[in-house]
Amino acid sequence: MSYSLNTTILNPISKKKPKNAVILCHGYGGDGKDISLLANYWQTYLPDTIFICPDAPEKCDVSPTGFQWFDLMDQTEDQILTKSLVAEIKLNNLIDEVKKNNELLDSQIAIGGFSQGCMISLQTGIKRKSKIKCILGFSGKIINIGHLEKNINSRPNIILMHGDKDEVVSVDFLLEAKNFFYRNNYDIETKIFKNIEHRIPTEGSSLGLEFLKKNLY
């Protein structure tokens, strides 16, 4: 099976046809192999799930071996939004490829990610006309609230998690997103981790796993 983005794939450990898929998007300067470490932990408990961990579509200027969903350096809000819309199209295409290649429905798809991967997952999942099952995000934000509010097309279940000592993406953005989703009648869970910086703690991976089990199994 081929995908339009270079992808790290973890097939179901049950060796059966996938019953669902989790697409995990890495952060700025990372790659699919980075975030597949999370999938390595989860797949023991989600034996019939295929995990898709793509490299973002652009090489990252500040990390020559890494990738970015969109450029963040010296960009205005409008420029960042414009570039994120290109990445959104590519992630939507990947979702459709995962569905087709594995004979799955949107309701059997979860997407999520860390930092910039969380950002693009939220934008793509909320705007997508065919409702995916759920979105999970670590240490991210809504890219552009005004744009997203005008383009809500579906309401998947959402969990957002963030460290209170994050100096890369402030925890204030989780509170901003929480208010946005409550205001727009979403079923959303949130968790703020004490004394955690810009990373996924063990508790976060465990909560993410429980969220996926609840929504996909």
pLDDT digits over 152-192, tens only?
999 999 999 999 999 999 999 999 999 999 999 999 999 99
What tokens does 154 get?
């579906």
Candidates 122, 152, 148; CA nearest to 135 is 122
Q: What is the pLDDT of residues 1-14, one digit of tens each?
A: 789 999 999 999 99
The yes-or-no verdict on residue 74 having pLDDT over 80 is no
Using the Cα atoms of residue 170, residue 34, residue 54 and residue 58 in order, give the sign of their dihedral.
positive
30 belongs to a structural domain: yes
Rounded to an integer, what distance in angstroms lies between the CA atom of residue 10 and that of residue 20? Answer: 12
Contact, 208 vs 159, CB < 8 A?
Answer: yes
1 belongs to a structural domain: no
What range does the domain containing 133 cover? 7-216
Express as a percent the part of the chain with pLDDT over 70.
Answer: 100
pTM recorded for the entire structure: 0.97
Number of domains comprising the chain:
1
18 belongs to a structural domain: yes
96 belongs to a structural domain: yes
The yes-or-no verdict on residue 140 having pLDDT over 90 is yes
pLDDT at position 61: 82
Candidates 145, 172, 147, 148; CA nearest to 160 is 172
Q: Give start and end residues of each alpha helix (H) in the chain.
A: 32-42, 77-102, 116-127, 145-149, 172-183, 202-216
53 belongs to a structural domain: yes
Instruction: Give the pLDDT mean for 23-51.
Output: 97
CB under 8 Å to 170, separation ≥6 — which residues?
Answer: none
- Distances from the Cα of 156 to the Cαs of 130, 153, 167, in angstroms? 10, 10, 29
2 belongs to a structural domain: no
pLDDT at position 1: 74
User: What's 104's domain CATH number?
Assistant: 3.40.50.1820
70 belongs to a structural domain: yes
